Amino acid sequence: MEKGYLTLETGEVFEGVLIGADKDSLGEVVFNTSMTGYQEIITDPSYAGQIITFCYPIIGNYGVNALDDESISPALAGVVIGDLCETPSHYQSINKFSDKLKQAGVPGIAGVDTRRLVKTIRSQGTVKGFLGKEKDHCLSESGDNQASMWVDQVSTKKIQYFKNNGPHVVLMDFGYKKSILHALLEENCAVTIVPYTTTLEKIKSLNPDGILLSNGPGDPMQLQAWFPEIKKITQAFPTLGICLGHQLIALAYGAKTSKLAYGHRGGNHPVKELMTGKVKITAQNHGYVVLDESIDQKIFNVTYRNINDRSIEGLQHKLYPIQTVQFHPEAHPGPSDTEYILKDFVSQIASLGENIYAVK
C-alpha cells in the first residue's frame, strides 16, 4: 500500500496508507462514533462532500453485503480509519470494505491515529482537509467544496413511484436514505419520490395523503429560495420532516439555524421525549441545528431535546399536522428506539384520509 496523508487547514498532518480510489480529495473532515454500520454510513447521501473519520478502531471486519447500501452510489469525499480488516467474516459478505471504496471511486486512508484526529476536530471544530499523496499540500489553493450545492447533486432528477395498498406518501428527496423508503413500504404505504424542487401544484396532482421531507447534505440555508414553497406544502398536507427536512420546515416558518462545532454523527445520541420524559437512543448525522430562541412558541411545541447539549431534536406545529425530528427514526444502522415515529405518522395520515372520505 502507498503512503498517504490527510492535511488539515489547521496545519496538522496525519500519515497513513492509501486505500480505495487512486485520487486526491478535498472535503469537510467529520467524525462518526458508531460501532457498526460503516456500509450504511459511507452510502448515506447526507455525507456528500465530507471526509468521514470512523472513531471505531477497526473497520471492514464483517465485509460489505448486497443489502445495506443507502444510495446507489456514495457521495462522500473520503474515508479515514484506524485499522483496516481485509479478511472479513460474515455469511452475507460479498466484498471487502477497501474494494467497495475503490469501486465507488472514493479515496481513503488507513492506519491513522483517529483518536488524535477526533480530539483535534473536537477542539478546533469541523475543519477542511485534503486527502492524498502530498504531505505539504496547501489547502488555500484547493478551493472550497463546501460551497457546492450538494442537495442538487444527490436528489433524484425524476419522479419514481412505488405501488402499495396503504396511504400515499410523497417523499421529497433532499438526499434520502433508502431505509426511509423501505420503512414506508413496510408500513404498506404507496410512495412517490420527487425532486426537492417539486412545487405544491405538482404535488397536489399526485394526490398524496402525506408528505415526508427527507434528510440530506449541507447547509439548509442554501435552500432558502424554496422555503416559501415548503411552507405551502406543509400547510396543505400532513408532513413529517427528518434531519435536513426538520431544519427546512423550521426555517420555512421563520426559525434560524446555526452550525455545530463538530456535529452530531453516530448511533448513540440520547434524546429526551418531553411529553413522556423518556430518553431514546438515536442515530444522527447533521452539522446544523435549529436555534432555540428563533422558534415561535405560538406556532411550534418542542417535542424532543438532545440530552448532551439541550439542542432541539423535534418540533410539532400547534395548528397543522406537521412534525419534525432531527434524528433518524428509520434506524439504519440503528438503534431502533424511535421507529414508532414513522409508524405513528403513517397511522395519522391513514386516519386523516379515512375522516376525509367519511365526510365526503
Show which residues are catalytic: 243, 328, 330
String of DSSP letters for 213-224: E----S-GGGGG
How big, in percent rounded to 5, are the helix, strand and coil portions of the chain? 30, 35, 40
> 162: burial class by Cβ within 10 Å (0-12, 13-18, 19+)?
middle
Among the listed residues 40, 305, 78, the one whose alpha carbon sits nearest the alpha carbon of residue 178:
40
Whole-angstrom Cα distance, residue 219 to residue 286? 10
> 20 and 106 in contact (C-beta within 8 Å)?
yes
Whole-angstrom Cα distance, residue 245 to residue 291? 15
The three cell numbers locating residue 25: 480529495
- Spell out the residues 6+ positions from residue 228 whose beta carbon is closer than 8 angstroms to its own: 252
- Spell out the residues 6+ positions from residue 6 whose beta carbon is closer than 8 angstroms to its own: 13, 14, 16, 29, 51, 80, 109, 112, 117, 129, 130, 131
Q: 335 in helix, strand or coil?
A: coil
> Is the bond into 167 cis (omega within 30 degrees of 0)?
no
> 167 and 350 in contact (C-beta within 8 Å)?
yes
At 11, the amino acid letter reads G
- Spell out the residues 6+ positions from residue 213 whose beta carbon is closer than 8 angstroms to its own: 172, 174, 230, 239, 240, 241, 242, 244, 245, 246, 248, 249
